[in-house]
Structure 1
Amino acid sequence: MKNLLQALNPLKSILLIVVMCAASRANGQQVKPSNGGYAPVNGIEVYYEVYGEGKPLILLHGAFMTIEGNWAELIPELSKNRKVIAIELQGHGHTPFSDRKLSYATLAHDVEGVMDYLKIDSADVAGYSMGGSVAYKFAIQAPKRLKKLVIISSTYKSSGWLPEITNAFKYWKPGLFMNTPMKAAYDAIAPDKTKWTKFIGQMIAFAQEPFDFGDDNISKISAPVLIIAGDNDGLDKIELAKTYKLLGGGVSADLAPMPKSQLAIVPSQGHVSLMMQTTTVLTYLNNFLK
């Protein structure tokens, strides 16, 4: 029983994200998108919202989340001097469920498709958790369309997570997600509420499938990369240090040029609480993206 409860901790964390973000939205500054709707890409309709004016910045949310749930506290500040394009990935939020097989490659192509639809040649891209993995894949597949990359509490391979995280996914069942804040959020904005069970089943299968985009591909990313992680966010920090090394980091800047990529480890933060550190995350983002 103890092992099962430990395995369910990631699910509890996801639920906590939704609850905490819902509370922060009630108190946070609210802004309305200047544009938004659906982009027909790769056989599905992908929902997006546009805020502000300036150089484009694309935001990619985490698993089971929405634009509002993931980015509500950051968009008002980021959109003061940037054109922020927030996307809801397949089956999430306003984007309809599709029987199309979920893969990081396909989701990254969807991001390209939204850019094509909005006539955006290149952009900065920021992704959290699952969205960060999609962002890594986008950097590999469409290098000429990427200016700068921000990865928040994410990895490009399954082994980038601690074993207890990947093992926990084995215990996920659709029934665990019933009568949860996630279900309520889904019912509030999903185009077809009857697809909930299929959506959850698809996402569980996706989470349980091992992935690895390849060290060689990561080392070939030419765009500057900012990695933000909590010191206890579930990422294997040994693997994270290797990732930063692949991106040109981990040098002695007193003896060699400062690398163009950056690594920020935020103390006393987990996967959930990291995204609630609005001021800290925003400071890192603004300093890097400018």
Structure 2
Amino acid sequence: MKSETKGSDSLKPALIIALLFFTVFQSKGQQSKPAESGYAPVNGIKVYYEVYGEGKPLVLLHGAFMNIAMNWGQLIPELSKTRKVIAIEMQGHGHTQYSDRKLDLPDMASDVEGVMNYLKVDSADIVGYSMGGSVAYQLIIQSPKRVNKLVIISSTYKSTGWLPQVTNAFKVMKPELFANSPMKAAYDAIAPDKTKWTKFTEQMFAFVASPFDMGDSNIAKITSPVLIISGDNDGLDKIELAKTYQLLGGGISADMAPMPKSHLAIVPSQGHVSLMMQTKILLDYLEDFLK
């Protein structure tokens, strides 16, 4: 009995993270309709995208298990007033069909580049949240000329950038925990093939539990301006985050040297989920950095 209780307790952080993620974000439905939507055939799969507004292109990359409406529903109406906003749903997420292709960051970054090619977008500003932020880091490493400015929201380029309790929670996630959850309801609402739910969750749990590291040297080579936004208690290791900012040229005394082109914003009293709900704060940071 003791071992069963211990195992059950070890799953609670993972369950809480996922249920909080979807319960909170479900209430934030998308508030506008895309001017264009469709599927881009890239790398053997068809990736769903939506386009809003006109102007300089801005690509949005969602977090794990999420879709466009959940992640960006409150931000798109404002961002699209002055920008051409391109929102993408990753392999197996939202309207993009499940694929047996192994999930990894290089492939997802190539998918994003493929959608840009399909829409004839040579380069764009990129905004990525959580998993989408890791994909965005991978994209700028693989294809630096495709990224003008980069915004990373509550994300990292290496698994050790997360606190141990976060990575430990990922390791014990199991598909059966979410059989009757808001996560499953969200999947069933728009997934092209609802029968792939179990395979999708197994694939995703394997992906989020796998260690990754894009390399400090690759981050130091980034020449595009980068804005990092993090909640003060969002699960990121702030010591590692400070090191990341230093690799990007930050963490200096700007009274004695020019202000770095990359910026770091730590939003107080925010976790990983609640940070994404701070629409006005995020818009202020984005508009100031991207203008």
State if a TM-score over 0.5 links the two structures. yes
Counterpart position of 2:215: 214
The alignment of Structure 1 onto Structure 2 pairs a total of residues equal to 287
Q: Which whole-Å CA distance do the structure 1 matches of 2:228 and 2:155 have between them?
A: 8
The reply on whether 1:51 has 2:52 as its aligned counterpart is yes
- Contact in 2 for aligned 1:14/1:272 (Cα 8 Å): no
Counterpart position of 2:250: 249
- Contact in 1 for aligned 2:63/2:129 (Cα 8 Å): yes
Q: Which whole-Å CA distance do the structure 2 matches of 1:10 and 1:51 have between them?
A: 34
Cα distance change on mapping 1:6 and 1:268 into 2, 3 Å:
farther
1:18 to 19, 22, 26: 22
Counterpart position of 1:145: 146
Give the TM-score taking structure 2 as reference length: 0.96
Question: What are the within-5 Å matches in structure 2 for residues 78-157 of structure 1?
Answer: 78-157=79-158
Counterpart position of 2:203: 202
- CA-atom RMSD, angstroms? 1.2
Cα offsets for 1:141-176 (capped at 9, x unmatched)? 010111000000000001000011111122111101
SS, match of residue 148 in structure 1: strand
Q: Which whole-Å CA distance do the structure 1 matches of 2:41 and 2:205 have between them?
A: 25
Cα distance change on mapping 1:243 and 1:7 into 2, 3 Å:
farther
Cα offsets for 1:43-82 (capped at 9, x unmatched)? 0000000000000000000000000000000000000000
Counterpart position of 2:266: 265
Give the TM-score taking structure 1 as reference length: 0.97
Q: Which runs of 5+ in 1 are unaligned?
A: none
- Contact in 1 for aligned 2:175/2:201 (Cα 8 Å): yes
SS, match of residue 46 in structure 2: strand
Q: Which whole-Å CA distance do the structure 2 matches of 1:51 and 1:176 have between them?
A: 36
Q: Which whole-Å CA distance do the structure 1 matches of 2:116 and 2:90 have between them?
A: 14
Q: Which whole-Å CA distance do the structure 1 matches of 2:205 and 2:28 have between them?
A: 27
Q: Which runs of 5+ in 2 are unaligned?
A: none
- 1:9 shift after superposition: 2.0
Counterpart position of 1:60: 61
Q: Which whole-Å CA distance do the structure 2 matches of 1:243 and 1:8 have between them?
A: 30
Q: Which whole-Å CA distance do the structure 2 matches of 1:252 and 1:20 have between them?
A: 39
Q: Which whole-Å CA distance do the structure 2 matches of 1:146 and 1:94 have between them?
A: 25
Question: What are the within-5 Å matches in structure 2 for residues 6-45 of structure 1?
Answer: 7-25=11-29, 30-45=31-46
SS, match of residue 28 in structure 2: helix
Letter in 1 for 2:116: M
- 1:116 shift after superposition: 0.3
Residue identity over aligned pairs, in percent, reads 71
Letter in 1 for 2:259: M
